[in-house]
Amino acid sequence: MAEIGTDIQKAVDELNRGNVVAVPTETVYGLAGNAFDVTAVAKIFEVKRRPSFDPLIVHIASYDCLDSVVRRIPEPARILAQALWPGPLTLVLPKADEIPELVTSGLSTVAVRVPDHPLTAKLLATLSFPLACPSANPFGYISPTSAQHVADQLGEAINYILDGGSCKVGIESTIVGFEDGQAVIYRPGGVPVESIEHLIGKTSMKSMSDSPLAPGMLKSHYSPSKSLILGNISELLDQYGHEQVGVLSFSRYFEQLDHGYQIQLSPTGNLTEAAQNLFASLRKLDSMNIRYIFAETVPEQGLGIAINNRLKRAAGGNAQINVRKECS
Ligand code: TXA
Ligand code: MG
């Protein structure tokens, strides 16, 4: 069983040995390995049971390290990185030869970011290589936002989990690529699209698709094992009844259902708080003795766009209302 602790040197030793270690970031916990070492990268795929067509994000210590992993930095990427790193922004850029093809699933681009967490910042500054680091969950399941979440699912497969407390953002990074000089949002996340557009102007969103070329946009992802149905919660309660039902609402409480089976993402209706609580709440509901999780979308603005994106993907085909068809 993995040891949980705050000993950076232990994590350094494991990584230098070519092993994988779970590390905290401001978004979610990641499963890290030496990005230049194909064997370490292969371990990441194996532990996560991740298909090799789904590329990994490379984590670097600072903007100054970007040249070691990418070939070219377009001007809008430079502006975004300088304004928003360290932080929940991932840039997709032409990859340097040193990055193994396994990391990028054969793509000519690499996804890269500078995480904003003191422990992992120190870890990266100590290491002589960048870290390939996807979210530390089994492929397709809810991302972890605490060390315990990682231990619950990957504890048998790894030796060490660096414990940095609960993730302050709670939702994965926003992924931005550049196609024909135009910024494209591949995944809405911890940096609101509005903040990106404020810096570099209009962006476009890639629609969700099942295309293996853009696996991060798979429609069904972040899935709890219970059936999550996204819609109008009152109507769902009327339609399905209250037996074996749990509710995940934005801020409302439903009188008709036992209080123990309800979680409000933010009782005050705050989207930052809702993002922080999202994945832990889904896990909590998933562990209850219920059959269905009824959930509703949050306001489609700021972090709400990323929250709704995760809820829709957690619902897979079970969305009963038309929230935006785009990548929201
Ligand atoms: O906040 C985060 O980004 C977290 C923390 C640990 O940093 N990491 C994370 O990694 O969410 P992961 O592997 O769960 O999601 C990364 C997504 C994948 O869905 C992958 O398809 C996409 O990034 N991706 C990676 N490289 C790409 C590339 N070259 N082009 C397009 N998408 C890429
Ligand atoms: Mg993930």
**In this predicted model, what pLDDT tens digit does every residue of 282-308 receive, in sequence order?**
999 999 999 999 999 999 999 999 999
Residue nearest to atom 20 of ligand 1 (CA): 216
Q: Is residue 276 situated within a structural domain?
A: yes
Q: What pLDDT band is residue 319 in, cutting at 50, 70 and 90?
A: low
Residues with Cβ within 5 Å of ion ligand 2? 135
Asked if 99 and 247 sit in the same domain, the reply is no
Q: Mean pLDDT across the stretch 70-87? A: 98
User: In the structure, what pLDDT confidence band is assigned to residue 210 with cuts at 50, 70 and 90?
Assistant: very low
Residue 326 — very low, low, confident or very high, per pLDDT cuts 50/70/90? Answer: very low
In a domain, 297, yes or no: yes
From the CA of 70, which ligand is nearest? 1
Q: How confident is the model over 86-133, as pLDDT tens digits? A: 999 999 999 999 999 999 999 999 999 999 999 999 999 999 999 999
Q: Ligand 1 atom closest to Cα of 54?
A: 21
Which of these three, 172, 194, 219, is where a domain ends?
172
The yes-or-no verdict on residue 160 having pLDDT over 70 is yes
Preceding peptide of 86 cis, ω within 30°: yes
Which atom of ligand 1 lies nearest, measured to the CA of 107? 29
Residue whose CA is at the smallest distance from ligand 1 atom 23? 216
Residue 131 CA, ligand 1 centroid: distance in Å: 13
What average pLDDT score do residues 53-73 get?
Answer: 97
Q: For residue 232, what are its two tokens?
A: 């109008």
Q: What is the dihedral of CA 165, 169, 171, 174, to 10 degrees?
A: -130
Same domain, 248 and 120: no
Q: How far is the CA of 245 from the centre of ligand 2 (A)?
A: 27
Q: Which of 172, 196, 214 is the last residue of a domain?
A: 172
Do both 164 and 277 map to the same domain? no
225-237 residue pLDDT tens: 899 999 999 999 9
Specify whether 21 is located in the same domain as 148: yes
Do residue 96 and residue 235 come from a single domain? no
- Is 189 a domain residue? no
Whether residues 150 and 26 share a domain: the answer is yes
Place of tokens 């390290």: 65
Distance 57 CA to ligand 1 centre (A): 5
- Same domain? For 153 and 249 the reply is no
Instruction: Write down the pLDDT at residue 191.
Output: 98
What is the arithmetic mean of pLDDT over 265-284? 98
- Domain of 160: which CATH number? 3.90.870.10
Residue 316, pLDDT score: 86
Same-domain pairing of 168 and 234:
no
Q: Which of 33, 201, 156 is nearest to 103 (CA)?
A: 33
Q: 167 in a domain, yes or no?
A: yes
The pLDDT value recorded for residue 225 is 85
Q: How far apart are CA 160 and CA 151, in angstroms?
A: 9
Residues with CB under 6 A from ligand 1: 25, 27-28, 30, 54-57, 88, 90, 92, 104, 107, 109-111, 115, 133-135, 172-173, 175, 186, 215-216
Both 7 and 132 in one domain: the answer is: yes
Phi, then psi, of 175 in degrees rounded to 5: -105, 125
Q: Are residues 153 and 35 in the same domain?
A: yes
Question: What is the tally of structural domains in the chain?
Answer: 2
Residue 297's nearest CA partner among 240, 237, 229, 241 is 229
Q: How many C-beta atoms lie closer than 10 Å to residue 165's C-beta?
A: 12
Tokens describing residue 122: 């120190």
SS3 letters for the chain?
Answer: CCEEECCHHHHHHHHHCCCCEEECCCCCCEEEEECCCHHHHHHHHHHHCCCCCCCCEEECCCHHHHHHCECCCCHHHHHHHHHHCCCCEEEEEEECCCCCHHHHCCCCEEEEECCCCHHHHHHHHHCCCCEECCECCCCCCCCCCCHHHHHHHHCCCCCEEECCCCCCCCCCCEEEEEECCEEEEEECCCCCHHHHHHHHCCCEECCCCCCCCCHHHCCCCCCCCCEEEECCHHHHHHHHCCCCEEEEECCCCCCCCCHHHEEECCCCCCHHHHHHHHHHHHHHHHCCCCCEEEECCCCCCCHHHHHHHHHHHHHCCCECCCCCCCCC
Closest ligand 1 atom to Cα of 90: 3
pLDDT at 320: 59
Rounded Cα distance, 84 and 214, in Å: 24
Q: What is the per-residue pLDDT for 323? A: 36
What's the CA gap between 178 and 118, in Å, rounded?
Answer: 29
pTM: 0.94
Per-residue pLDDT, averaged over 214-223, amounts to 59
Q: Whose CA is nearest to atom 21 of ligand 1?
A: 216
How far does residue 28's CA lie from ligand 2's centre (Å)? 9
142 and 289, same domain (yes or no): no
Domain-embedded: residue 298 = yes
Ligand 1 geometric centre to CA of 9 (Å) = 26
pLDDT 10s digits, 13-41: 999 999 999 999 999 999 999 999 999 99
Mutation test residue for ligand 1: of 135, 137, 176, the one with most atoms within 8 Å of CB:
135
What CATH number has the domain bearing residue 271? 3.40.50.11030
**Last-in-domain residue among 148, 172, 196:** 172
Is 215 a residue whose pLDDT tops 70? no
For residue 206, report the distance from its CA to the centre of ligand 1, in Å: 15
125 lies in the same domain as 33 = yes
Q: What mean pLDDT is reported for the chain?
A: 93
Report the pLDDT value the prediction gives residue 181, as an integer from 0 to 100: 87
Has residue 177 been placed in a domain? no
Whether residue 163 contacts residue 150, with contact meaning beta carbons closer than 8 Å, is answered with no
pLDDT of 219 strictly over 70: no
Give the ligand at the shortest distance from the Cα of 108.
1
Structural domain range at position 59? 3-172
Percentage of the chain lying above the pLDDT 90 cut:
89
- The CA-based dihedral angle spanning residues 137, 139, 141, 144, taken in that order and rounded to the nearest 10 degrees: 20
